[in-house]
Structure 1
Amino acid sequence: MIRPHRLACYTCLVCWLAGLFPMVLRGDDWKSRHEAGNLSIFAEFALKDVQGLVDELAALQGEIEATLRLKANNQPIEIYLFASRGSYVNHVSVRVPNAVNRQALYVQGKDAGRIYAYRHRNMDIDVRHEATHAILHNCLPFVPLWLDEGFAEYFEVRQAERKSQNPHHSSIKWIRRFGGRPDLAALEKKRNLSEFDGGDYRDAWSVVHFMLHGPPAARKILDDYFETISDGGVPQPFSQAFPAQLGNWGSLYAQHFR
């Protein structure tokens, strides 16, 4: 699901910025706190008010591991939830001024992955999206930008909605009626989210969905890609692997989204 804050900025800031973020309030300075394994959630409001989200976040790592057949390390993931946009901006503006227009922010540091968000109607979607980034980077030494965003778009909705109820479904089915397929080579060339538009997020999600729920041969390409990355190798780009191993993959893709 695309919202304006994703189109204007980046998702994962460089690690030297992460060193600034531990300056946020900790421990007893927060009204509510929850811990589950390597996950810590701090909030300026009672977490019981968003207990559903807390439970979903506690389960998200296991869902990602099971779905992607990966295993995350135990690096801490800290989530900071602010009661209002004003409070969020007050904390973020002095540390990462360019991020104040975002509704949520993920920063990968050397000691922990940190997520910052404020309470609003779609906070749960935003936090699941950013938490997916944090978990993925605990699973793999490197995740290409477009694939990272594709998975975040996939896992940002509730588990029951991921296979057939993501908002991208309706738009991708409509577009595919007119033919065409994602330009994988173009997606792979993008290095900054400032280069992404709504269509890029949609296409990245659709390729992820195709690999997870489409033909077994497409899933094998993903599994092989992960295995190569985990072993420290350089995987074949998807733009080359798809035609080499799937043949007319555009036809398979179109059938998948009929």
Structure 2
Amino acid sequence: MCGWILRLCILTAIGGMSGCALWGRSAAPLILPEVASDNLVILADFELPAEAVMRASVESLRTDLSSTLQTPMEDVPIQVHLYRDVAAYQSVVAQRFPQLAGRRAVFVTDASGAHIYAHWTEHVVTDLRHELTHAYLHANIGRLPLWLDEGLAEYFEVPPQPGRMNVEHLPVLNGALQNGGWRPNLDRLAALERPEAMTQLDYAEAWLWTHYLMSGSQRDLITAKLAAERRQELIDPIPLQIRHVNSNAELGATQYLTAISTR
């Protein structure tokens, strides 16, 4: 179990991070409250429902990251700000992080620590797992290349299951492939430096490369990169390492896309 304790708070102003009062009544907890750790604080402007499946999916993420990526993932303080009303959420993001407007959830860090802002939808588990992946990687590993940071977040937003397929990306990738104007290009993807510059196709391609590498022996390229970053050691970028082994990795990624699309 992850070791989280829940604080349910009422936001006294839209997007407010201060003036938060603990609810006096018993609320249905998202995270089991008897665990004696306080790294995750949920601030919501509504009473959270009791969802055992959702709770387990979110709680399992840190262990999932650690075991799959073969690197320690320590508890880190994270505040999660949840909004029932989409307009309230969009107002907060537009005012505070205008470059991230239009996203269902965002992860940011500032002087007060790590924060996740999200709108409560049917996708909330996916969104929380995605943004919490960013938060754990940022705190435990450090800054990663954008394509890998987003690729891992897209990979781990799906709870552990056979194949670990993010089915939202397959039609996007196959449609672009069939239209003839796109092919996987890791060098192009690795040149992107800001999340707001990434398109839906870029996120899908980041997931594809990550899934492709994680599916076989090339997984070591990712785990070694994370271990080196954790130790603050310099190693060759992953695209360069791939070229040492396979000069036509784009063809391999394209064939991999075709293979997983027919499963």
- Output the TM-score relative to the length of structure 2: 0.75
Is 1:197 matched up with 2:190? no
Name the residue aligned to 1:222.
222
* The 10-residue stretch of structure 1 (200-209 or 154-163) with the greater mean CA deviation from structure 2: 154-163
Larger proportion of helix: 1
Structure-2 change in CA distance of 1:163 and 1:89 (3 Å): closer
Structure-2 change in CA distance of 1:52 and 1:30 (3 Å): farther
Taking the aligned partners of 1:120 and 1:183, their CA distance within structure 2 comes to: 33
**CA deviations over 1:49-85 (Å, ceiling 9, x no partner):** 4443232111111111111112123321221211212
Q: Relative contact order, CA 8 A, sep 6+: which one is greater?
A: 1
Taking the aligned partners of 1:85 and 1:162, their CA distance within structure 2 comes to: 33
Name the residue aligned to 1:157.
158
Q: Which runs of 5+ in 2 are unaligned?
A: 1-14
2:76 counterpart SS class? coil
Name the residue aligned to 2:233.
233
Contact 1:154 1:208 in 2 (8 A): yes
Contact 1:117 1:126 in 2 (8 A): yes
Contact 2:186 2:250 in 1 (8 A): no
**CA deviations over 1:22-75 (Å, ceiling 9, x no partner):** 734535169856466422323333323444323211111111111111212332
Taking the aligned partners of 2:99 and 2:195, their CA distance within structure 1 comes to: 13
Taking the aligned partners of 2:91 and 2:200, their CA distance within structure 1 comes to: 29
Structure-2 change in CA distance of 1:183 and 1:84 (3 Å): same
C-alpha deviation, 1:219, in angstroms = 1.4
- Measured on the aligned residues, the alpha-carbon RMSD in Å equals 3.0
Structure-2 change in CA distance of 1:98 and 1:209 (3 Å): closer
What letter is aligned with 1:58?
A: E
Taking the aligned partners of 1:254 and 1:99, their CA distance within structure 2 comes to: 30
Taking the aligned partners of 2:56 and 2:194, their CA distance within structure 1 comes to: 32
Name the residue aligned to 1:40.
41
Structure-2 change in CA distance of 1:248 and 1:52 (3 Å): same
Name the residue aligned to 2:5.
none
1:27-176 aligned at under 5 Å gives the runs: 27-28=21-22, 32=27, 34=31, 37=37, 38-89=39-90, 91-92=92-93, 94-160=95-161, 163-164=164-165, 166-172=167-173
Contact 1:106 1:113 in 2 (8 A): yes
What letter is aligned with 1:106?
A: F
Work out the number of aligned pairs and report it.
236
Q: Which runs of 5+ in 1 are unaligned?
A: 1-20
C-alpha deviation, 1:115, in angstroms = 0.6
Identity %: 26
Structure-2 change in CA distance of 1:41 and 1:161 (3 Å): farther
Contact 2:146 2:194 in 1 (8 A): yes
What letter is aligned with 2:224?
A: D
1:63 counterpart SS class? helix
Taking the aligned partners of 1:244 and 1:118, their CA distance within structure 2 comes to: 43
- Output the TM-score relative to the length of structure 1: 0.77
